[in-house]
Amino acid sequence: MQETFDALVTAAFGRHLLVRTLTGEELKARPFGRGLSVVCGDRVRCRMDGGAPAGGAAARGTQAEGARAGSAETHVLEVLPRSSSLYRSNARGGSEPVVANLSLLMIVIAPTPVPDLFVVDRYLSAALSGGIPAILVVNKRELGVTPELRAELDAFHAAGYDCAECSARSDDGIGALLDLCSGKVATLVGQSGVGKSSLVHRLVPHANVEVGDLVREEEGRHTTTASRLFDLPRGGHLIDSPGVRDFAPAIDMLDAAHLGFIEVARLAPGCRFHDCRHMREPACAVRAAAESGAMSARRYESYRRLRRLQEELIQSRGPRGRKTT
């Protein structure tokens, strides 16, 4: 029987993975069985299947030597318990992990492209629901921050979120950003074009961001859209994830009272009804705060959109897929 070994998932694209063994070797791998969901940042238990028999290269040498001997294939058998995860909803309303074992979520925006702040809100919602600290990172600082964007950043700060400003082009603010994520498992998320890959190069010098030669799609064509984990120079890891056009947090993990909106969670105890949805209910403290300016009206509209999306995704499951209490 082949022995198992533990490893860290350092890149993931679909069912194509790179894993790093405890001795630092990096191997191509696949999940064993269709039901196993593995993402970047996972700690996993693996086995070398095929290739060298017991007592051969795999037994007396490294796992990599075993993989080369007789075309052995590395299979991930088990995902070890996660300390935290960032989850999203799929089109059927189910929950899918995006990255695992995070201790910091860094949501990157920039003056260009124009930030989709509703996507930012949804990342923050997923982070709060998953118990993951989150900050906003404004890249391309050299382009200047418009008064409109500054007002939105002030609203995030008033809600309770920190914001770091930097420039991957000029290196301005990169040292402070490195201080924030050193010693942690941090991930960069956000829209395409905000400069996440440039930030990776600044935070992790000589990082090879392109992983197309290592992770391939089923058809065999190269891909550069894999999530990839890098070692930070002062300890910890940085995970770069593909840019997105939209993002919806996993609805099953949202607290029904506030949907992961930090200011709604603070205000909700002041509502007349303990099960207030903060939509049309009378004497709603959240709606009153949005109307008075105590809460950002845009953030409140974002909450309303997420509430409607949550209901749509629940309905899309049909009777069999709905959760029961």
| Structural domains of the chain, ranges and CATH numbers in brackets | 4-79 (2.40.50), 85-240 (3.40.50.300), 255-321 (1.10.40.50)
The residue assigned the tokens 């947090």 is 249
126 within 8 A of 250, measured Cβ to Cβ: yes
Mean pLDDT of 38-46: 97
- The better pLDDT of the pair 88, 53 is held by 88
Q: Exposed/middle/buried for 202, CB within 10 Å: 0-12, 13-18, 19+?
A: buried
Q: What is the pLDDT of residue 51?
A: 60
Model confidence at 22: pLDDT above 80 = yes
Q: Backbone dihedral region of 142: left (phi > 0), alpha (psi from -120 to 50 degrees) or beta?
A: alpha
Least confident of 44-53, 155-164, 213-222: 213-222
Distant-in-sequence, close-in-space partners of 42: CB < 8 Å, separation ≥ 6: 8, 9, 79, 80, 82, 100, 101
Q: What share of the chain is helix, strand, coil (3-state, %, to 5)?
A: 30, 25, 45
Count of residues making up the chain = 325
Q: What is the pLDDT of residue 223?
A: 38
Average pLDDT across the chain, whole number: 87
Mean pLDDT of 286-310: 96
Least confident of 214-228, 247-261, 284-298: 214-228
**Tokens representing residue 277 in the block:** 């949805």
Q: What is the pLDDT of residue 222?
A: 36
192 within 8 A of 245, measured Cβ to Cβ: yes
Q: How far is CA 287 from the centre of its chain?
A: 30
Q: What is the pLDDT of residue 205?
A: 86
Distance in angstroms (rounded) separating the CA atoms of residues 118 and 201: 27
Q: What is the pLDDT of residue 320?
A: 56
- The better pLDDT of the pair 215, 33 is held by 33
